[in-house]
Amino acid sequence: MHKIELAVFDMAGTVVDEDNVVYKTLQKAINKKGYLLTLDFVLEHGAGKEKHQAIKDILRIEEGYDQDETAKEIFKDFKKMLGKAYQDLSVTTYAGVEDLLDTLKKLNIKVALNTGYDKNTAQLLLDKMNWTMGIHYDILITADDVKRGRPNPDMIFEAMDILQINNPSKVLKAGDSIIDIQEGKNARCGMTIGVTTGAHTREQLSSAKPTYVLDSLIELEEILTSN
């Protein structure tokens, strides 16, 4: 295996613990339009995606056909509701993650954060956690920065381009949803990691055939230092 030079981490559910507030808000926004969807359904079909796309996909699966206008209205409502939900929200990282980031720095592994959120939402989360670019991570890539969201590999390629990593086999992608793993595989990453701290279960993550499924991101340290 090639030595890993770049670790790309999804945000919510992977390095950011925000109690699934985004998907709970997404569920509320959709159900306000008369649906009765469960959080599990929203997570199964929406996790990890750019949020407008997530709404479109969820409605298509539920109704059997596209609901573009309704999806647009729900997305607009969702953004307002999320802004309110985030104002009072306490956001932390998971135990041991900041130590892991220190270890990666010592191993000369760069860290990119990538997310299906827009730039403003992502930055709001990082500010609440007191995470700073250059200290906790090297670059933030959001859905706003690329034309195609996950499972397309564009966000990973953008991070590689900016950080001057040429070989995807030297890149690790970690996330809490199936679509994170698919994104990593589509980028031909040398390692794909599913972590059970967020949207999807061990069984769901395993179905995407990642290199590893971990119960905690801190297990990565042993994997990276033993290879």
Alpha-carbon Rg of the chain, whole angstroms? 17
Q: State the pLDDT at residue 174.
A: 98
> What are the backbone angles phi and psi of residue 158, rounded to the nearest 5°?
-60, -45
> What are the backbone angles phi and psi of residue 160, rounded to the nearest 5°?
-60, -45
Nearest to 9, CA basis, from 146, 153, 193: 193
Q: State the pLDDT at residue 20.
A: 86
| CA count, 13 A, side-chain hemisphere, 213 | 16
> What's the CA gap between 95 and 16, in Å, rounded?
10
pLDDT in tens, 96-132: 999 999 999 999 999 999 998 889 889 989 999 999 9
Point out which residues pair with 139 in neighbouring strands.
112
CB 79 within 8 A of CB 52: no
Q: State the pLDDT at residue 68.
A: 93
Between 110 and 47, name the one with better pLDDT: 110
Q: Helix crossing, 39-46 with 51-63: angle to 10°?
A: 110
Between 87 and 223, name the one with better pLDDT: 223
Point out which residues pair with 173 in neighbouring strands.
8, 192
Residue 51 pLDDT exceeds 70: yes
Q: Over pLDDT 90: what percentage of the chain?
A: 84
